[in-house]
Structures are given as structure tokens and as C-alpha cells.
Amino acid sequence: MFMKIIRAEHLGMCFGVKDAVALALKTARREPLTILGDLVHNETVVAELRARGIRVAQQPADVNTPTVMVTAHGASERAMNETRGRGLSVVEATCPLVHVAHRAVARLVREGFHPVIIGKRDHVEVRGLTGDFAEFDVVLCDEDVAKLAECPHFGVVAQTTQPIDKVRRIVGLIRSRFPKSEVRFVDTVCQPTKQRQNAAIELAQKCDAVVVIGGAHSNNTHELVKTCSRHCVRVHHVQTAEDLQANWFADAETVGITAGTSTPDMIIDAIEQRLNQICADVLSSTY
């Protein structure tokens, strides 16, 4: 049986991650560089950066180069000042759309709103969004909303890579739990995330199986897996072409490919090639 392979209309590495990788490579050509945390949640890209001599440290205390890079996920002013206070020079690769979220939450706080971030509490971007405030809440599910204490003004923003439908549902929950409070929501989900989520839904609806490509720790990849699983019963999360198993696609007529915002084009191409090979193997065993 012939297996058709289609790509989502929007998939893979976003401009924010591409620019951050380019800035890391450019800086590393000039001087020794350490990246604070994972520049991208993709092992292949991180391994390539290491191969170019770029170091990775999880804490400023572990940095042994004079220059350190903050990732596309951003950092709080407090964290960056602490890093500078250690005598390190900071290169910022923060995505402009993460800066938009930082400015949105700072403005809400200035105007007297209690900040609520819809996102993953321990995610580096959320730590950056909350790190300059003494009081804030982070919510991701109904139980988290149930634990919020009442206050007159809630200012709500989202981690940039959360699905907008989920974010709007949580904002609705906060509004219905606190009908007397003012709940101001600023939509900070980034456009590349929205495009990839919408394209993933369209893709999953017309496929018998979907392959989602992305790092094991990539939040937006996990969200793509969840979104596709609502519209297609056979969804497989892989990191490289070696993870693909031919038996996943038995009897599948249409197989879709989508990828998280940290996934480079070469991995997507390799996976499409491997799927074509699987398809060719099935055809030759049939005839």
C-alpha cells in the first residue's frame, strides 16, 4: 500500500531559536563562550554547539569563561544582575517575543495587578518571567486555579509556548472563580507557537499517524504531542530518525510530520527520508 507523507504547514525551528543559535556561533568565533542553561531543548543542536567549543553551565558559579549567554527563553533582571555581579559579561539571546511577555507582566504589576503566569512553574522561561517579583502565582491546571487566593486585580500572561486554547480556558476559570475581581489577560503566546499548534490540528485531522519531532525536554513539542493526540490515535514523539519504528505505520495511508520550535530542518529532512524508506520497503515487500 502506498503511504503518503505530509508535513504540517508550519513546523520546526522558530526565528527566535534560529537567531539565538546564530548569535551563539557568532560570539563563539570571537571569544570563549558559556551558555547558561540549554540554548534550545534539542540534544542534536546542543551537541553541535559543544562541538564548536561552546560550553554549557547550569549555574553562573560554574562558568569559566568571561562571557556568558542567556538563552532565547530569557532571564529576570535580578538573575542577569547577579551574573554580571560575578564579573561576567552577559550576551542576551532572549527572543523578542519573550521580551514582549516580560514587558507585559511588568506593566501589569506597575498598574497594581497581581501577576499570574499560565505555564510550567519550573520552566526556565517562567522563572525568568517571575524572578523580578516578590509575589506571583503560576498556574497550569484547574487545581492550580482552585488554590489561588482572592485578590481585587489579577494580571494574567502566558508562557509563550502554551497552547492558546488551554490558556483561554484557564483565564475563563480564573474569571468564573473570582467574579468580583478584575482579571486582565494579555495574550503572550507567541505567533510561531500558535501557527504550529493550528497546523498540527489540521495535520492530525487528516492523518492515520503523526510523527512529532522534538527534544525530550521541549515544552512546545510535548504540547504538540497532546494536541495531535486529540485528533489522531497514532501519535509518536521522536527525537531523531533512529527512533522511528516501521511497525508504527502498518496500514497507515497518510502519515503527518510536525516538529517543535527547537527542531532543526536537517532532523526533519532525515525523518522524512526515513519515512520514505519505510514506505518503499513496505511497497517492495508487497509486490
Query: 65: Cβ–Cβ under 8 A, 6 or more apart, which residues?
Result: 31, 32, 33, 34, 55
Q: How far is the CB of 94 from ligand SF4 (least distance, A)?
A: 9
Stretch that binds ligand SF4, among 44-52, 172-180, 186-194, 275-283 (CB under 6 A): 186-194
CA 204 – CA 233 distance, rounded (Å): 9
Per CB under 6 A, does 199 bind ligand SF4?
Answer: no
Name which position in 93, 138, 190, 252 contacts ligand SF4 (CB under 6 A): 190
Residues in binding contact with ligand SF4, number by CB under 6 A: 14
Cell of 92: 542576551
**Phi and psi, residue 252, nearest 5°:** -80, 125
Stretch that binds ligand SF4, among 9-17, 53-61, 130-138, 162-170 (CB under 6 A): 9-17
Instruction: Give me the catalytic one of 31, 111, 125, 272.
Output: 125
Name which position in 11, 39, 69, 98 contacts ligand SF4 (CB under 6 A): 98
Stretch that binds ligand SF4, among 57-65, 92-100, 221-229, 230-238 (CB under 6 A): 92-100
Name which position in 34, 42, 83, 193 contacts ligand SF4 (CB under 6 A): 193
Per CB under 6 A, does 261 bind ligand SF4?
Answer: yes
Considering beta carbons, is residue 96 or 112 the nearer one to ligand SF4?
Answer: 96
Position of minimal CB gap to ligand SF4: 16
CA 56 – CA 41 distance, rounded (Å): 13
> Could you write out the three-class secondary structure of 186-215?
CCCCCHHHHHHHHHHHHHHHCCCEEEEECC
Per CB under 6 A, does 60 bind ligand SF4?
Answer: no
Name which position in 46, 95, 171, 241 contacts ligand SF4 (CB under 6 A): 95
Per CB under 6 A, does 118 bind ligand SF4?
Answer: no
143 assigned to active site: no
- Nearest CA among 19, 12, 16, 20 for reference residue 36: 20
Give me the sign of the Cα torsion angle 186, 188, 192, 193: negative
Per CB under 6 A, does 183 bind ligand SF4?
Answer: no
CA 281 – CA 245 distance, rounded (Å): 13
Does residue 223 contact residue 161 with C-beta atoms inside 8 Å?
A: yes
Considering beta carbons, is residue 83 or 261 the nearer one to ligand SF4?
Answer: 261
Q: How far is the CB of 20 from ligand SF4 (least distance, A)?
A: 7
Residue type, 10: H
Residue type, 9: E
Stretch that binds ligand SF4, among 102-110, 131-139, 176-184, 190-198 (CB under 6 A): 190-198
Residue type, 280: A
- Virtual torsion, Cα 180, 181, 182, 183, nearest 10 deg: -120
Does residue 203 contact residue 230 with C-beta atoms inside 8 Å?
A: no
- Point out the residues that are catalytic: 125
Q: What is the binding site for ligand SF4 (CB under 6 A)?
A: 14-17, 72, 95, 97-98, 160-161, 190, 192-193, 261
